[in-house]
């Protein structure tokens, strides 16, 4: 029926069975299909998935791992992932929360009963359908008998959702799944990760050494979750026991809603779960039947737009990887149009034929929010014969290649030129630097896009640095999307930033160089972190009135948050005179907080930890409110640095992403 999404290991297609059953069919990329190790893991995935049947799971319907194009098919489950739901609607409450805890525990009980360990229980792997939660993705699952096929030396799982014993020894058992289940339910109930966010090593330390933050969790759920989150795996509750305890709590909720005279609610079946499950209604358009050849292309476009997409990350299928939102979730709330580096896709109206043959009403699908489209980290993953062939070359473009570059000549090059220029100008404008207008040229032989600025008389040196950073980000993000969308035809993957000192300069100085296949953000192990370049840009005063307003309000909120916490931290209260500053880096959409600590308030680790917590809470709260109310607001990251007297420099003590 159309393509739902594509990831590094394959493509997920929308399928419709002869009875109208909607399915998701994962077809492995040809390059992966030629890898014996990958095929062994894929066969194992199919074998494990076929063993697991039970409530709140997405069943495997059919598969052929030995076909020329290996594939598997699962039932299609429309809905948001847990993290998407929390972003859009907030934490789960009441009967829905207890039904979530019950359903996910039942799913893990069925998985463990089949002798399988999931090993990647996390919000992205739980779909909230209208019928209840559904646990998916067995991409890294393995059998409890130890007959898994994995890559040696690779820690499986996601930071923040890994058990203490797995961090210490690499041990992965059913107990590890239950630790992740406790984290999952706490996250669903509070909207916060019980061990916080931050660098992977920091999160790992908290998981192994600190108690979870369960403030706001209903008292009744605290006992089973504390059993699940025990540091010692031998003390953890089993999935079967957790399902029974949560089902009893769910039944009690139903009785409380019905009244004391209604008698006990039924247990032992899915009736109580579905009865208490209450989510906001979600539009789920019908999938049309195949059209005649002359209309097939149009209908496929309409269907894919209406149902949106799902990228796969090695499991049955999951919605998107953390670094790439070019393929979006399986609802009609967002479109699955090609990811565009700038601009917003127009709403699409699709008129389709239902499975019964009747004509469906036209459905208008809202355009995808361009701010949620993440930059592909590896846009050529799984592409057998990409047009860009110089990936990984360490030789930078030389001056002859810059001189021989030409202005855009094709429609695709003109679109790219426009996208890079507009992206740069929007970033430069926030610092009142949009007078530095870039020139964009192309060298197809070198497969390089050149971004050139200058000449500007008496320009401060740090302005050139901002030009370099904006040019690199605009070029990298634009080319990454181009490579992902048109990998076999788009030849440009490198970019080079230059600066002319005069109009007739024959050899513009190179300021920077990079490849769109290497990732565009400052990340380590998938986690964003601040750096000195971003801090330097943030320190330049903003000319954007909204940024100025938010910065002022956020600093006041940081101080207020710190002072609210002093009863627990035993710290002295802060004032606005204690040197807390905040600025914005438009290149990586980050708010930087720093202090030169004039009153020596943050010299020890405890005070720095308390400051980091106050900054994260206050900054994310302010950024999220602005993001949700202001469509032009792009800032979703934060970093904090304090002055270190020993090194006479500022040192970063925390950084992370906010979830708008």
174-190 vs 239-258: helix crossing angle, rounded to 10:
30
Mean of the per-residue pLDDT values for the chain?
A: 80
Residue 158's pLDDT band, with cuts at 50, 70 and 90, is low
Residue 539's pLDDT band, with cuts at 50, 70 and 90, is very high
Q: Label residue 526 left, alpha or beta by phi (over 0 means left) and psi (-120 to 50 means alpha).
A: left
Q: Strand pairing partners for 657?
A: 637
Alpha-carbon span 272 to 247, nearest angstrom: 8
Q: Specify the pLDDT at position 78.
A: 87
- pTM of the full structure: 0.49
CB within 8 Å of 369: residues ≥ 6 apart: 334, 344, 631
Q: Specify the pLDDT at position 3.
A: 77
Query: Closest Cα partner for 180 from 248, 107, 115?
Result: 107
Q: Specify the pLDDT at position 326.
A: 30
Alpha-carbon span 350 to 364, nearest angstrom: 7
Token pair for 480: 């990454």
Residue 443's pLDDT band, with cuts at 50, 70 and 90, is very high
pLDDT at residue 258 above 80? no
Highest mean pLDDT among 110-119, 304-313, 327-336: 110-119
Other Cβ atoms less than 10 A from the Cβ of 536: the count is 16
């Amino acid at each position: 029926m159309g393509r739902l999404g594509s990831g590094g290991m394959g493509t997920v297609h929308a399928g419709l069975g002869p009875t109208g059953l909607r399915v998701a069919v994962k077809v492995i990329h040809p390059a992966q299909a030629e890898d014996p190790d990958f095929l062994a893991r894929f066969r194992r995935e199919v074998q494990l998935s076929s063993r697991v049947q039970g409530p709140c799971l997405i069943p495997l319907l059919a598969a052929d791992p030995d076909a020329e194009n290996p594939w598997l098919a699962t039932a299609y489950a429309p809905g948001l992932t847990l993290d998407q739901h929390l972003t859009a609607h907030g934490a789960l409450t009441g009967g829905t929360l207890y039904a979530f805890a019950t359903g996910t525990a039942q799913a893990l009980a069925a998985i463990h009963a089949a002798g399988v360990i999931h090993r990647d229980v996390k919000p992205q792997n739980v779909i909230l359908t209208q019928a209840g939660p559904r646990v998916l993705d067995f991409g890294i699952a393995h059998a409890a008998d130890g007959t898994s096929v994995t890559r040696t030396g690779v820690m499986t799982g996601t930071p923040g959702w890994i058990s203490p014993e797995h961090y210490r020894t690499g041990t992965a058992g059913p107990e590890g799944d239950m630790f992740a289940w406790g984290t999952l339910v706490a996250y669903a109930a509070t909207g916060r990760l019980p061990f916080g966010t931050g660098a992977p090593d920091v999160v790992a330390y908290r998981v192994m050494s600190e108690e979870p933050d369960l403030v706001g969790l209903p008292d009744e759920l605290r006992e089973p979750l504390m059993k699940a989150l025990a540091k010692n795996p031998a003390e953890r509750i089993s999935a079967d026991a957790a399902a029974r305890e949560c089902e009893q709590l769910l039944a009690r909720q139903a009785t409380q809603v019905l009244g004391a005279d209604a008698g006990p609610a039924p247990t032992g079946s899915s009736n109580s779960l579905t009865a208490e499950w209450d989510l906001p209604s979600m539009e789920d358009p019908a999938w049309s039947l195949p059209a005649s050849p002359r209309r097939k292309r149009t209908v496929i476009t309409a269907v894919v737009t209406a149902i949106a997409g799902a990228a796969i990350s090695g499991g049955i299928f999951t919605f998107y990887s953390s670094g790439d939102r070019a393929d979006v979730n399986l609802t009609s709330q967002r479109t699955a149009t090609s990811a565009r580096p700038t601009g917003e896709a127009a709403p699409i109206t699709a008129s389709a034929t239902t499975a019964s043959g009747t004509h469906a009403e036209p459905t208008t699908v809202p355009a995808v929010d361009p701010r949620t489209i993440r930059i592909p980290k590896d846009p050529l993953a799984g592409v057998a014969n990409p047009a860009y062939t110089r990936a990984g070359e360490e030789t930078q473009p030389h001056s002859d290649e810059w001189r021989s570059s030409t202005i855009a000549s094709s429609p695709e090059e003109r679109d790219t030129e426009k996208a890079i220029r507009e992206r740069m100008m929007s970033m430069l404008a926030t610092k009142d630097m949009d007078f530095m207008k870039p020139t964009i040229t192309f060298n197809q032989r070198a497969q390089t896009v050149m971004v050139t600025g200058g000449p500007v008389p008496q320009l401060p040196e740090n302005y050139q640095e901002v030009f370099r950073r904006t040019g690199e980000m605009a070029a990298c993000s634009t080319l990454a999307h181009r490579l992902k969308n048109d990998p076999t035809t788009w030849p440009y993957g490198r970019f080079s930033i230059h600066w002319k000192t005069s109009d007739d300069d024959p050899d513009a100085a190179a300021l920077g160089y990079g490849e769109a296949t290497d990732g565009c953000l400052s990340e380590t192990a998938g986690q964003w972190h601040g750096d000195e370049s971003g801090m330097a840009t943030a320190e330049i005063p903003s000319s954007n009135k909204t940024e100025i307003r938010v910065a002022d309000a956020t600093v006041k909120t940081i101080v207020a948050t710190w002072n609210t916490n002093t009863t627990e931290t035993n710290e002295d209260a802060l004032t606005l005179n204690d040197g807390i500053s905040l600025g914005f880096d438009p290149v990586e959409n980050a708010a930087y907080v720093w202090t030169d600590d004039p009153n020596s308030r943050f010299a020890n680790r405890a005070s720095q930890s308390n400051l980091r917590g106050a900054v994260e809470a206050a900054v994310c709260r302010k950024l999220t409110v602005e993001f949700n109310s202001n469509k032009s607001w792009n800032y979703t990251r934060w970093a904090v640095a304090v002055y270190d007297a020993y090194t006479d420099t500022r040192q970063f003590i925390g950084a992370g992403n906010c979830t708008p």
